[in-house]
Structure 1
Amino acid sequence: MRRTVSLLKKPSFTRVWLFPTWIMLGISRLVILTVTFRRLAPYLGHSVGLQSYTQLLTTEQERRAIQIAQVIRLASRYTPWVANCFPQAVTARLMLGLFRIPYALYFGLTRDRESGEFKAHAWVVAGRVPVSGGHGFAEYTVVGCYLKHIQSETN
């Protein structure tokens, strides 16, 4: 009952998009487990290698990117499957593309100081908004970047 009341207090965007986002997280996880990265990569955006890019957003795009980030974080808390950084990044890419918001999806690596093993991370930024995965630049070395630039209707 408490969770239902809490959900009803959320902004309308969150209430409307929570279940579809939850479903997208599941589909993203399933695709990651069943499709090779080589086949998935073309759908992530245009590969620009190791370069980092940020495209400026309008105020409305930035506001929507923040809303998308919030609903992805919330939906990922309630999945019975693993909804770590990669499924969240794929879901963020899907939602940002749906709302025609330019984004950059990054893959990074770092070496664990204790075990010496590599740790991988995926994160998505739209302008200055960290949509999923937080600010991975501080801890991870970028090993791949995929972009989607949305052209305005007037161009």
Structure 2
Amino acid sequence: MAAQYYTHNIMSPIRSLKTMILRAEIILGLMFARVLIKLVPFRWWKRLLGPIDSQSHSDQQRLSAKQIKQASDIGRMIKRLARKQKFEAVCFPQAITGRWILKRRGIPSNILIGSRKDPGTGMAFHAWLKVGDQVVTGQHEY
């Protein structure tokens, strides 16, 4: 019993630190993605994203349940933090940020971009991030 209490108290600060670092990583990623989208021509930074709208079947087979859960947790955190920012962090910055974060953790993902005719603006675009068959960000509009 004492060993469980001791282990729990040691792990909690480490887990809290990891969560704080992930939050900072997400916020900085959202900010950086937003600046790229707003100020830099897409052709100059599109290589940072990797392939868009392509899905490798071998990537889907390599995913473990732990990786899928981690991607889902990161996606929820991205959406939650994106809503709290003072800058506009909509679907595309969220997908970009998620892709970068998951790539650093060795989890393959795909950004997909869709469009449809919108009566008010002419065209409406949406981006979402998938890990395997699971949509990690952008699923409400997906």
TM range, smaller chain? 0.7 to 0.9
Equivalent residue of 2:88, what SS? coil
Distance 2:140 2:82 in 1: 18
Identity among equivalent pairs (%): 29
Counterpart residue number, 2:28: 23
Q: 1:72 aligns with which of 74, 78, 82?
A: 78
Counterpart residue number, 1:39: 44
Counterpart residue number, 1:108: 114
Counterpart residue number, 2:94: 88
The alignment of Structure 1 onto Structure 2 pairs a total of residues equal to 125
List alignment gaps of at least 5 residues for structure 2.
Answer: 1-14
Which residue identity does 2:66 align to in structure 1? E
| Post-superposition offset of 1:19 | 2.5
Q: Does 1:125 align with 2:130?
A: yes
Check whether the contact 1:106–1:122 (CA below 8 A) recurs between aligned residues.
yes
Check whether the contact 1:65–1:129 (CA below 8 A) recurs between aligned residues.
no
Check whether the contact 1:123–1:135 (CA below 8 A) recurs between aligned residues.
no
Counterpart residue number, 1:99: 105
Distance 1:52 1:19 in 2: 29
List alignment gaps of at least 5 residues for structure 1.
Answer: 1-10, 138-155
Looking at both structures, which has the greater relative contact order when contacts are Cα pairs under 8 Å and sequence separation is at least 6? 1
Write out per-residue CA displacement over residues 61-110 of structure 1, whole angstroms, 9 at most, x where no aligned residue.
10110111011011101110000111111101111111111111111101
Check whether the contact 2:109–2:132 (CA below 8 A) recurs between aligned residues.
yes
Counterpart residue number, 1:146: none
TM-score (norm 2): 0.76
Equivalent residue of 1:106, what SS? strand
TM-score (norm 1): 0.70
Query: RMSD between aligned alpha carbons?
Result: 2.4
